[in-house]
Amino acid sequence: MDNRFATAFVIACVLSLISTIYMAASIGTDFWFEYRSPIQENSSELNKSIWDDFISDEADEKTYNDALFRYNGTLGLWRRCITIPKNTHWYSPPERTESFDVVTQCFSFTLNEQFMEKFVDPGNHNSGIDLLRTYLWRCQFLLPFVSLGLMCFGALIGLCACICRSLYPTIATGILHLLAGLCTLGSVSCYVAGIKLLHQKLQLPTNVLGEFGWSFCLACVSAPLQFMASALFIWAAHTNRKEYTLMKAYRVA
């Protein structure tokens, strides 16, 4: 194996490993989108009711999004979190202080919620199904797992190539990484489109800011790393095979 191809193979493996770590971290964390709002210090009955609705299995899209807006919520692919005061006071609000203890509570989306239809008017089941938002949500949930699976399968093929001391099987690894990059890019695009469409229907309150979080950024970085690894795998395998064929033809001649 030529040193050029071996170097390209090693660099591609490093890029693949980094992108896999980034993708796994983005899937497993809850900071794809973050809301910034004033923390509610008064743990009144109204606030307590909102918290109970947030963690309820029957919470609809509008219910949990209202809580995310109000309580510095963070949203991941499979969990939603809010920041609330640590201690509840039922009969009177605590005295205002410069700082007070808060705690983050998270609740996982069930599979039924992940594949549940989205409505034209969030929270209103009689408004009709919004097919675009429904399939955007499903794609943003499924595509990252498909991407991660393709990279792991590609890594097994690359390991077999190392054992066989041949670069030719890494063409399949490169193709799988290309497909993984497309899945990651598709997931990021679906997520951005879904968030934009949601905020068109549920306007953010005037004192609330929303921004994409670092989990989303990890997925965005993972996609170009997958494309670069794919290009190196395919180039090394194809060029090495081509030179081997030319050398064999020269020897026969």
Residue 250 has pLDDT above 90, yes or no: no
Task: Quote the tokens at residue 136.
Answer: 């955007």
Write the DSSP symbol of residue 79.
E
pLDDT score, position 32:
95
- Least reliable range by pLDDT among 46-60, 201-215, 220-234: 46-60
pLDDT score, position 236:
82
What is the per-residue pLDDT across 6-50, written as a single tens digit (0 to 9) for each?
788 889 989 999 999 999 999 999 999 999 987 655 555 556 666
Mean pLDDT, the chain, rounded, equals: 82
Q: What is the mean pLDDT of residues 163-192?
A: 88
Choose the most confident range, by mean pLDDT, from 45-54, 55-64, 105-114, 134-143: 134-143
Q: How far apart (Å, rounded) are the C-alpha atoms in residues 111 and 185? A: 23
Residue 169 has pLDDT above 50, yes or no: yes
Is 3 or 148 the better-scoring residue by pLDDT? 148
Q: How far apart (Å, rounded) are the C-alpha atoms in residues 162 and 14? A: 14
Phi then psi for 156, rounded to 5 degrees? -65, -40
pLDDT score, position 113:
82
Contact indicator for 140, 194 with CB cutoff of 8 Å: yes
What pLDDT band is residue 175 in, cutting at 50, 70 and 90?
A: very high
Tokens 């973050």, residue located: 34
Q: What is the mean pLDDT of residues 227-231?
A: 94
Q: What is the mean pLDDT of residues 75-98?
A: 67
Calculate what percentage of the chain has a pLDDT beyond 70: 78
Q: How far apart (Å, rounded) are the C-alpha atoms in residues 201 and 168? A: 51
Closest among 93, 97, 27, 105 to 64, alpha carbons compared: 105
> What's the angle, vertex CA 151, arms to CA 106 and CA 225, rounded to 5?
85
Is 237 or 188 the better-scoring residue by pLDDT? 188
pLDDT score, position 90:
42
Contact indicator for 38, 69 with CB cutoff of 8 Å: no
Residue 141 has pLDDT above 80, yes or no: yes
Task: Quote the tokens at residue 246.
Answer: 């030319």
State if pTM tops 0.85.
Answer: no
Residue 128 has pLDDT above 70, yes or no: yes
Task: Quote the tokens at residue 106.
Answer: 């998270």
- Least reliable range by pLDDT among 91-100, 116-125, 162-171, 233-242: 91-100
Choose the most confident range, by mean pLDDT, from 11-20, 35-44, 112-121, 199-208: 11-20
- Helix (H) or strand (E) run with residue 103 in it: strand 102-108
- Helix (H) or strand (E) run with residue 83 in it: strand 79-85
User: 147 exposed, middle or buried (CB, 10 Å; 0-12, 13-18, 19+)?
Assistant: buried
Closest among 171, 151, 148, 147 to 8, alpha carbons compared: 171
User: 116 exposed, middle or buried (CB, 10 Å; 0-12, 13-18, 19+)?
Assistant: middle
Task: Quote the tokens at residue 75.
Answer: 């949203």
Q: What is the mean pLDDT of residues 189-205?
A: 92
Q: What is the mean pLDDT of residues 142-154?
A: 93
Residue 143 has pLDDT above 70, yes or no: yes
Contact indicator for 23, 32 with CB cutoff of 8 Å: no
DSSP alpha helices (H): ranges in the chain?
3-28, 45-54, 61-70, 111-114, 131-164, 170-201, 214-252
